[in-house]
Every structure is written in structure tokens, then in C-alpha cells.
Structure 1
Amino acid sequence: MPCDNNGKDKVILEIEGDNEGIFVERPNRFISIVEINGQKEYAHVHDPGRLRELLYPGNEVLLKKYEGGIRKTKWEILAAKKDSKWIFVNSKFHRQISEIILKNERLSPIGVIEDLHPEVKVGKSRIDFLAIRDGKKVWIEIKGCTLERNGVALFPDAPTERGKRHVEELLNMKKMGDDAVIIFLIFVNASCFRPNYETDEKFSRALYKAMEHGVSVYPLLLNYDGRAIKFEKPLQLCREQEIETENEGDHSKNYN
């Protein structure tokens, strides 16, 4: 059965930051410059989105330090401040977070599963998980959401052809008789969720079409306090009267 609010404040994963810094700029999608204790350092950005409302000059960021290895940067951004709250922006941990949720009967939106396989190839894509539930295949894709406007969580924050392709692959698997699920990990304070059709109409249309044909969508609200990811509650899809269409703020330069 789908998860309810019995798991509120359940610690999913402990991920503690090592230092705080000030965001300076983002020269490209993967690299940022931050100021730590008065010194400028390079920090890895592990999120494909634009994150304009979070990664802008002067904003506070939480960083994790990595020593040794072949990394080009010794720092990685974990979270950024918004309204005095840390917003988790590191997609590297999405699979681990979602796997813990899926294996917890109290939290999993798809109920009890018998088996779970990560990164399974479907068509031209790799879907995050293939689960077995009641002897039936359930294809599961995970997306992280860090954009909020007027209490509404929105995905994506940048056009995503890859995301659209994932949705279409899930729809194909549903038509072939399997079950298909998209889980949105919501890291912003929001009361409901909807696709961001102002930014990516093609993805949004693909998602609505998939839902009409039985692909299940589960937005899950999570909280990050700088030390741990906690489960809050499932969110509903927004009703029409809750949908706002204001333009989002632009705190940084545009890049592709």
C-alpha cells in the first residue's frame, strides 16, 4: 500500500557537511567557485539542473570535503540556503536515498517488494530500478526536485530531453504489461507538486500522457538539516487552482 505520514521525521540517510561557504559563480554545469574562510575554491556540482534560485552569487552553501583519489576538486556542494533552510542539491545520493525508502515498508509508495535491481537498461535508457512486486515487474525512475514557487514543487528546472525519454520508456513498459512508477524526491518546502510546463512543455506533456495510461507518480517530501535526510510525507499533485504561472527568479547567468 502507498506510504502515509507514519514515517514522518524518519532518518533516511546521514550526510553531514564539512564546511560552509559562499557561492561565487558556476563556470560550467559541473564546476562552481565558492569562498571558504576567505579563500576561493573549486567545488563540484553534482546536479544537472540550473539551480538558479539556489546557486547564485552570495548565497550560503554547505560543502563536503573529499581527499585523495583522482578528483579535480576536493569540495562538493551538498546543499544551498533558501529561507534559512538547507536545500539538498546533490543528486549523487538520490539512488541511495530512494533505495532505502523503497525497501522500507512504512515509507515505500509501492508497498512491499520482493527484489530490487538498480540501473536496468530499457530501450535507449537506463531506468533507476527494476522491482519485483507480487511476482510482477515494476520499473521505477527517480527524479530530484529542488525548485519551488509559491508553495508548489516543480520539475524540471531546465529542459530535459533525457527525462522525457525516461518517461516515454516507462510508458512503453506499462503498455507491455509491466507496472511503471516515477518517484520525485522533493527537497523544497512545498504543499503540492506539478511538472514545470513553463520550462519544459515536452516533458510535462509526456508525464501527463504517461499518467493517463497508468504510470504512477509519487512526489515524496524530504527534509535536510545539514546532517541527515529525513522523510516528511507524500505530496499530492497540484489542483488547477493551486497552479501558479509566475516567472521564476533568475539569479545567475544562463547556460546550456
Structure 2
Amino acid sequence: MQFSSSLQQGRLIKRYKRFLADVIPKGAAAEASLTLHCPNTGKMTGCAEPGWTVYFSVSDNAKRKYPHTWELVENHQGEVICVNTARANQLVAEALSLRQIPQLAQYGEIKPEVRYGSENSRIDFLLRQTGEPDCYVEVKSVTLLDDKEQGQGYFPDTRSERAQKHVRELIQCVQNGQRAVLLFCVLHTGITRISPADHLDPVYGALIRDALAAGVECLAWRADISPRGMQLVQELPFHVSGQDSSIS
């Protein structure tokens, strides 16, 4: 996927109130700060340090209070992170339509945002193909990098009852004779492998182990990220400690 227009560059002052961030646009004076919409409800640990380079898009919608949207951030190590979580589903949708994910390439019908499950969820993608069980694909955006163990990424970045619910729903899909896939979309160029964040959400970690045992598939794909655009390019290992679940 390509960004609809060239992203503008700035320097992060701070993120606040979850949905807002102040930046100094490139070439502007320090007092000429700009407020961006931050499309990320998470903690954004390791993604929002003051002084880092940010890239933002500009909307031509005159009704928007904040027409600028924070898209990317570059840390001091030169690693690029996509903080706009909506991009994960867009990337996966593109990869599915182009059949770039080998494990899911056989499906000809792709339906986004379909209601399912006993807990009233919406699956990110329902895949169908004649002669195949329906395949339910839940997408998760991964941006949390361990600052002590090089390349180790985790999901979630905080305790998440919503993420727990989605795993339970996927387990039910398998129990009902369908296929279920949890697809971790890695939006941090410094991450080279993925694990559940047991240290932040042990309930989620336990559910992942239950899901793997039940037959839910866990895939991780890394995106190539630049101010011009993004694309899923590489499958990464997914590993759960204490269980032989590595995928590469």
C-alpha cells in the first residue's frame, strides 16, 4: 500500500490524551507546533519518545478538527514504526487479495468485518473457498519491542480484555469445525520474532497456549515501512515459551 500523498515530517514533542500528539514540523520554529490526531489507543510503549522523528499525513476533509494524522515514527536506532493501527488491516487486506500469504492463498472470497461468535465479535476477515472450511482471520498490530532482548517483539503491549475475547472466539471457531488464524502484523522494523506478552497479560498468554492446543494457527508477518508506503514482506517466527510452537 502507498500513502495517498507524501507524508510530512516533524519532531515529536509529546503524545497526550491518547488521541493527540504535538510535533514541530520540519523547518518550522520551535513555537510553531502542530497538533496531530493519534490513531492508536494503546500505551505505545517504545513508540512515542520526545525528540523522535514523526511522519504524518494531511486530510483534505474540512470537517476534521485535526486534519493531520500521525502515521510513522523513527527512533534513534533508525527503526521505523507505524503507529496508525488501522494500517495493519489495510496491509493484510492487500496481501490477501494478492495471495502473498502462502498459508491463506487458496481463498478466493475475502469478507472484512463479519460478525461472529458467542461474544458478539467482528472478525477482521472471513475467507471462503468452495470445498474448504471457512477461515476466520483476526489481525493484531505489533509494535512492542523488548528493549533488553534484541529483535524480540510482544503482543499485547498492556492487559487487553478485548484481545482475550478474540482468542476465545477463535478457539470456538475451531471447535465448530472452521479454520481460525491469528495474524500478527508486525509494524516495527526492529522486530524479528514474536511472542505473547506473558509479563503484561498472563491471561492472554494462557489463552494463546489453549488456542494453539485447540488448533488455532498463529502467523506473524513483518511489514517493510517507509514514508512512501508499506508492504508485508516476511514471515517471522512466533514462539510460545514452554511449548513447541515456533513458526518460521
TMscore range, shorter length = 0.7 to 0.9
By how many angstroms is 1:44 displaced? 1.0
CA change 1:237–1:94 in 2 (3 A) is closer
Higher relative CO (Cα under 8 Å, sequence separation at least 6) belongs to 1
Describe the superposition over 1:45-74 as per-residue Cα deviations: whole angstroms up to 9, x where unpaired: 112221131112211111111123422211
Q: Which residue of 2 aligns with 1:173?
A: 173
CA-based RMSD of the aligned residues comes to 1.8
Which of 59, 71, 92 is residue 98 of structure 1 equivalent to? 92
Q: Once the 2 structures are TM-superposed, how far is the Cα of residue 18 of structure 1 from its aligned partner?
A: 2.5
Look up the match of 1:224.
Answer: 225
In 2, distance between residues paired with 1:239 and 1:62?
Answer: 34
**Aligned pair partner of 1:145 in 137, 142, 145:** 142
CA-to-aligned-CA distance 1:71-101 (integer Å, 9 cap, x gap): 2211111111121132111112222211111
Deviation at 1:17, TM superposition (A): 4.2
- Aligned residue pair count: 229
> What does 1:68-217 correspond to in 2, within 5 Å?
68-82=61-75, 83-122=77-116, 123=118, 124-133=120-129, 134-149=131-146, 150-188=150-188, 189-217=190-218
CA distance in 2 between counterparts of 1:185 and 1:21 reads 26
Conservation of the 8 A alpha-carbon contact between 2:209 and 2:240: no
SS in 2 for 1:61: strand
Hey, what's the Cα distance between the residues in 2 that align with 1:167 and 1:72?
A: 36
The equivalent residue for 1:18 is: 7
Q: 1:157, 1:196 within 8 Å by CA — same for their partners in 2?
A: yes
2:245 — aligned with what? Answer: none
d(CA) in 2 for partners of 1:203 and 1:240? 13
Partner of 1:6: none
Unaligned runs of 5+ in 2: 243-248
CA separation in 1, counterparts of 2:102 and 2:57?
28
Deviation at 1:118, TM superposition (A): 0.7
- Distance in 2 between the 1:180 and 1:32 partners? 36
User: How far apart are 1:240 and its partner, in Å?
Assistant: 4.6
After TM superposition, give the deviation of residue 155 of structure 1 in Å: 0.8
CA contact (8 A) 2:141 2:187 kept: yes
TM-score with structure 2 setting the length: 0.86
Letter of the structure 2 residue corresponding to residue 222 of structure 1: A
Q: Which amino acid aligns with 1:232?
A: V
Shift of 1:114: 2.2
CA contact (8 A) 1:85 1:225 kept: no
- In the alignment, structure 1 segments of 5+ residues that lack a partner are 1-12, 242-256
Counterpart of 1:125, as a letter, is: S
Q: Is the 8 A contact 2:7 2:228 kept in 1?
A: no
Decide whether aligned partners of structure 1 residues 17 and 197 sit closer, same or farther in structure 2, where only a CA change above 3 A counts: farther
Contact 1:30 1:44 in 2 (8 A): yes
